[in-house]
C-alpha cells in the first residue's frame, strides 16, 4: 500500500483538503481520501509526505502524437500545408526502431509532466506498443490515409491489417481505436468505410476536424492550398457546400453510434456546435498548436456551455514544443481549479474514462500527481511532477522504496 500526504489535496469532485492524504490499496485503487488525521496508515504501507505541494488527479492529455517526439524543433515551417509535407518527409526518413524509441520517450516525458493518460494518434503503432510495454494508460488511434477515392479498398485493408497486428497489444488500460485522419487526407468513400468498420469492431473513433481555414475552403468550396495539392496529384476535388463538421455528419462519421473524438474544431459556427453536441461525441482543443499555425481560437466556452465533453491536448511536440497540459490550459485562458478540472476530470470525460480516472475518489484507479503548490496559480514553463503514479504504481519523480 502507498500513503501520500500533501499540503493540499485536490480531489476535483470535492473541495480541496488542507493537509490531506490519499491511501492507495494493493490493487492500485484509491482506498481513502481525507484530511491527514483521518487517513489510516496500515502496517507496512509506504509513506511519502510533500508538505509544500499539491496532490491532484493524474493529468489527461487528450491529443498527442508521441511517435513524433524525436522531431521536436526540427520543423521550422508554420504555414500549415507546407508544415504537413515537411512532417511527412521527416517521418519517411525515420526507422521503426526510432519510432519505438521516440514513443517511449514521449510516454516518459508525459509522466515527468504528471500526465497519466494520453489519447494518441499515429500511423506506426509505436505509441500503443510503448504504452503497453511501460504499463501506461491511454488510447491509441491508428491513423488511416487515402485522399484518392480509387484507393479506398487498399487503405481500408491497411487499416484492418494494422488493427489485427495491434489488437493483441491492447488491454483495458491501453486501448486501441482508429482515426481517419482529416478531410484533406481521406476521401468520402474511405470515411464511410472506416466509420462502418469502427462501428462493427466497436473501436473508438477520432478525427482531426475543422482545424484550419484551408480545410474549410477545401470542403466548402473545393478551393485553397489543400485542393490545389490534391489536384496536382490527379486526385478529384469537389465542393460540398457545407462545413467540415456538417460534411462528416453527412458521411456518418459523426453520430451517437460512433461517439467520435473531434480534434481541434477551431473553424466552427453555432450550427456545427449543435451537431457536435447532438452527435454524442467529444472535442479536443489544442490552443498552442492552433496558435503556432495561425488557425485561430476554438470556442471553448461555447463547447462547455453546450454540454459537450471537452479536453485539452498538446498535439505534437513539433507544434507545441512539449507535453505541458498546464500550458494548454493557460493558453485557453484557464487557471486555478478551473484549469485543473479541464486537464483531469473533463479530459477523462471526453475520453469516456471518467468512471475510472480524472478525480481522487475512493474506488477509482490511483492515477495521481504531486506538484509544487504554485502550479495551480502560476503557470510554470516546464512543470515537473514531484511524484507521478499510474494505477497505484509510482512511475516518475520521487519513487519510494517498496
Is residue 78 pLDDT above 80, yes or no? no
CATH for 48: 2.30.40.10
C-alpha cell, 137: 494508460
Its pTM stands at 0.96
Confidence at residue 382, expressed as pLDDT on a 0 to 100 scale: 74
One domain for residues 115 and 16: no
One domain for residues 136 and 248: yes
What burial class does residue 363 get, using C-beta atoms within 10 Å of its C-beta: 0-12 exposed, 13-18 middle, 19+ buried?
A: exposed
Confidence at residue 75, expressed as pLDDT on a 0 to 100 scale: 58
The total domain count for the chain is 2
Give exposure, 161-178, as e/b (b: 16+ Cβ within 10 Å): ebbeebeeebeebbbbbb
Confidence at residue 174, expressed as pLDDT on a 0 to 100 scale: 97
Of the given ranges (47-56, 297-306, 317-326), which has the lowest mean pLDDT? 317-326
Q: Are 351 and 58 in contact (CB under 8 A)?
A: no
Q: In this structure, is residue 402 part of a structural domain?
A: no
Is residue 401 pLDDT above 80, yes or no? no
One domain for residues 276 and 364: no
Is residue 182 pLDDT above 90, yes or no? yes
Q: In this structure, is residue 320 part of a structural domain?
A: yes
DSSP secondary structure string for all residues of 254-294:
SSTTT--EEEE--S--HHHHHHHHHTT-EEEE-HHHHHHHT
One domain for residues 44 and 64: no
**How far is it, in rounded angstroms, from Cα 205 to Cα 191?**
11
Average pLDDT over residues 21-34: 98
One domain for residues 69 and 25: no
Q: In this structure, is residue 119 part of a structural domain?
A: yes
Q: List all residues 6 or more positions away from 306 whose beta carbon is below 8 Å from its beta carbon.
A: 273, 274, 276, 277
Confidence at residue 306, expressed as pLDDT on a 0 to 100 scale: 97
Of 72, 44, 5, 27, the residue nearest 320 (C-alpha): 72
C-alpha cell, 347: 479530459
Confidence at residue 379, expressed as pLDDT on a 0 to 100 scale: 65
What is the per-residue pLDDT across 242-280, written as a single tens digit (0 to 9) for each? Answer: 999 999 999 999 998 888 999 999 999 999 999 999 999
Q: In this structure, is residue 146 part of a structural domain?
A: yes
Of 3, 2, 1, the residue nearest 36 (C-alpha): 3
Confidence at residue 217, expressed as pLDDT on a 0 to 100 scale: 97
One domain for residues 271 and 372: no
Extended strands (E) in 286-353: 310-312
CA distances from 355 to 63, 230, 260, 346 (A): 20, 43, 18, 11
What is the per-residue pLDDT across 108-134, written as a single tens digit (0 to 9) for each? Answer: 999 999 999 999 999 999 999 999 999
**How far is it, in rounded angstroms, from Cα 99 to Cα 86?**
17
Average pLDDT over residues 311-336: 93
One domain for residues 385 and 241: no
> Three-state DSSP class for 50?
strand
The confidence band for 383, taking pLDDT boundaries of 50, 70 and 90, is confident
Of 190, 194, 182, 156, the residue nearest 88 (C-alpha): 182
CATH for 77: 3.20.20.140
Is residue 378 pLDDT above 80, yes or no? no
Q: In this structure, is residue 216 part of a structural domain?
A: yes
One domain for residues 12 and 85: no
> Three-state DSSP class for 334?
coil
Which residues are 394's β-sheet partners? 389
Q: In this structure, is residue 355 part of a structural domain?
A: no
Average pLDDT over residues 28-34: 98
Average pLDDT over residues 201-207: 97
Q: What are phi and psi of 62, to 5 degrees?
A: -85, 5
Give exposure, 255-290, as e/b (b: 16+ Cβ within 10 Å): beebbbbbbbbbbbeeebbebbbebebbbbbbbbbb
Confidence at residue 192, expressed as pLDDT on a 0 to 100 scale: 98
Q: List all residues 6 or more positions away from 241 whose beta carbon is below 8 Å from its beta carbon.
A: 220, 221
One domain for residues 19 and 112: no
The confidence band for 377, taking pLDDT boundaries of 50, 70 and 90, is confident
**How far is it, in rounded angstroms, from Cα 235 to Cα 225?**
14
- How high is the mean pLDDT of the chain? 95
**How far is it, in rounded angstroms, from Cα 149 to Cα 236?**
8
Confidence at residue 257, expressed as pLDDT on a 0 to 100 scale: 82
Confidence at residue 83, expressed as pLDDT on a 0 to 100 scale: 81
Is residue 380 pLDDT above 70, yes or no? no
One domain for residues 96 and 204: yes
Pick from 92-96, 304-308, 317-321 the range whose average pLDDT is largest: 304-308
Average pLDDT over residues 330-350: 96
One domain for residues 278 and 192: yes
Residue 174, domain extent = 59-350
One domain for residues 45 and 70: no
CA distances from 70 to 99, 288, 324 (A): 8, 19, 16
Amino acid at each position: 500500500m502507498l500513503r501520500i500526504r500533501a499540503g493540499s489535496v485536490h480531489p476535483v469532485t470535492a473541495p480541496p483538503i488542507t493537509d490531506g492524504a490519499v491511501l492507495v490499496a494493493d490493487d492500485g485503487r484509491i482506498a481513502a481520501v481525507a484530511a491527514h488525521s483521518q487517513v489510516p496508515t496500515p502496517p507496512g504501507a509506504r509513506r511519502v509526505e510533500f508538505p509544500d505541494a499539491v496532490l491532484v488527479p493524474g493529468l489527461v492529455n487528450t491529443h498527442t502524437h508521441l511517435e513524433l517526439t524525436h522531431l521536436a524543433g526540427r520543423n521550422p515551417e508554420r504555414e500549415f500545408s507546407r508544415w504537413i509535407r515537411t512532417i511527412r518527409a521527416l517521418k519517411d526518413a525515420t526507422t521503426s526502431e526510432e519510432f519505438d524509441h521516440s514513443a517511449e520517450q514521449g510516454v516518459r516525458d508525459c509522466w515527468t509532466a504528471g500526465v497519466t493518460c494520453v489519447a494518441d494518434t499515429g500511423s506506426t503503432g509505436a505509441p500503443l506498443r510503448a504504452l503497453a510495454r511501460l504499463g501506461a494508460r491511454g488510447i491509441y488511434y491508428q491513423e488511416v490515409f487515402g485522399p484518392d477515392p480509387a484507393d479506398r479498398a487498399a487503405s481500408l485493408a491497411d487499416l484492418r491489417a494494422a488493427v489485427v497486428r495491434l489488437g493483441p497489444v491492447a488491454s483495458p488500460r491501453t486501448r486501441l481505436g482508429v482515426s481517419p485522419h482529416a478531410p484533406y487526407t481521406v476521401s468520402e468513400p474511405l470515411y464511410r468505410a472506416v466509420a462502418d468498420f469502427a462501428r462493427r469492431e466497436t473501436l473508438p473513433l477520432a478525427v482531426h476536424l475543422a482545424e484550419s481555414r484551408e480545410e474549410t475552403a477545401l470542403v466548402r468550396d473545393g478551393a485553397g492550398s489543400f485542393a490545389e495539392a490534391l489536384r496536382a496529384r490527379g486526385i478529384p476535388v469537389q465542393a460540398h457546400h457545407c462545413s467540415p463538421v456538417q460534411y462528416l455528419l453527412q458521411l456518418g462519421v459523426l453520430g451517437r453510434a460512433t461517439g467520435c473524438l473531434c480534434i481541434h474544431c477551431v473553424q466552427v459556427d453555432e450550427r456545427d456546435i449543435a451537431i457536435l453536441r447532438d452527435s454524442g461525441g467529444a472535442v479536443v482543443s489544442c490552443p498552442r498548436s492552433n496558435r503556432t499555425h495561425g488557425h485561430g481560437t476554438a470556442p471553448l466556452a461555447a463547447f462547455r456551455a453546450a454540454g459537450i465533453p471537452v479536453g485539452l491536448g498538446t498535439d505534437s511536440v513539433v507544434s507545441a514544443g512539449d507535453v505541458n497540459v498546464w500550458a494548454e490550459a493557460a493558453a485557453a485562458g484557464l487557471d486555478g481549479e478551473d484549469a485543473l478540472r479541464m486537464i483531469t476530470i473533463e479530459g477523462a470525460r471526453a475520453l469516456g474514462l471518467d468512471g475510472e480516472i480524472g478525480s481522487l475518489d475512493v474506488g477509482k484507479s490511483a492515477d495521481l500527481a504531486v506538484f509544487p503548490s504554485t502550479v495551480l496559480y502560476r503557470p510554470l514553463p516546464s512543470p515537473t511532477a514531484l511524484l507521478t503514479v499510474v494505477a497505484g504504481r509510482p512511475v516518475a519523480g520521487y519513487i519510494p522504496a517498496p
